[in-house]
Amino acid sequence: MDPDYLPFHPNPSKPTFTPPAGAVDAHCHVFGPAIEFPYAPERKYTPCDAPKAKLFELRDYLGFERNVIVQASCHGRNNDALVDALNAAGELARGIAVVGPDVTDDELKTMDEAGVRGVRFNFVKRLVDATPKDVFLGIAERIKKLNWHVIVYFEAPDLEELIPFLKQLPVTVVVDHMGRPDVTKGVDHPDFQRFLNLLAENDNFWSKVSCPERLTADGPPYDDVVPYARTIVDQFPDRVLWGTDWPHPNMKSHVPDEGHLVDVIPKIATDAAKQKALLVDNPMRLYWS
């Protein structure tokens, strides 16, 4: 593990908010264990091991019923740890893979049968090396046949340049972590308004209202992030997802307490109908229908 990388919380608190029945943690990861699922040689960081059993234990402890497990960059394009976790979880999990243009149809079929329902395109320069956009478009055309979707991860300053490419994607597009806005600028700043306009103008675009622990400038309880997430939930209640981001890869500022993260939910989804859409209806429609 990188010496400045923080491990996940060893004893998270019990949240005061009780998720509705059938709730989905729609953004989490499994790492290793490295002895069984080695990390990619080209990785930009080395995490602590965070195996599937720990994830499922946390799911139950927090009051969730299902997971969407997202392939993280430290495992590169080797999705073995992801597929192993999906096979162990059965109908209680779905997955998002990372693939290259050389992925075979048989490999895609195997992942589909395990529960993979999309691929992730990462544009965060400190995490991955650049990939030509034509490569991503080719992958998107192939996964369209499987009725998969695309997850995109980028930071707010890069959105303007990415918009023409994003609009070319022929599938549903889910943006990780609200496009990582700078929460010190305010919700009226052109950067965040650009993101809201993208969602308003393209009804195939969704947003995860997750990762306040990454976006905050003030730290827990993350109240500086709440107005951003609440704005998105209020404007696009049927196109939002939420997740813990466990085990919080590459965190260096503080160790997030997952119980506290769950307690942010009623601040951003302010009534029972919005909470059910965010945690149950939307992820079930996208991943299990």
Question: Catalytic residue positions?
Answer: 245
**CA neighbor of 222 nearest in space, from 168, 183, 279:** 183
Q: Are 122 and 177 in contact (CB under 8 A)?
A: no
* Maximum C-alpha span of the chain: 47
Q: In b/e form, how buried is each residue of 111-120, taking b as 16+ CB within 10 angstroms?
A: bbebbbbbbb
Rounded distance between C-alpha atoms, residue 155 and residue 133, angstroms:
17
| Amino acid of residue 209 | V
Six token digits for residue 31: 């790492």
Q: Return all residues near 86 (Cβ < 8 A) that are at least 6 apart.
A: 69, 93, 94, 95, 114, 115, 116
Rounded distance between C-alpha atoms, residue 167 and residue 119, angstroms:
16
**CA neighbor of 27 nearest in space, from 261, 274, 231, 289:** 261
Six token digits for residue 267: 């601040």
Secondary structure (DSSP) of 109-135: HHHHHHTEEEEEEE--TTTS----HHH
Rounded distance between C-alpha atoms, residue 153 and residue 180, angstroms:
9
**Phi, psi angle pair for 161, to nearest 5°:** -70, -30
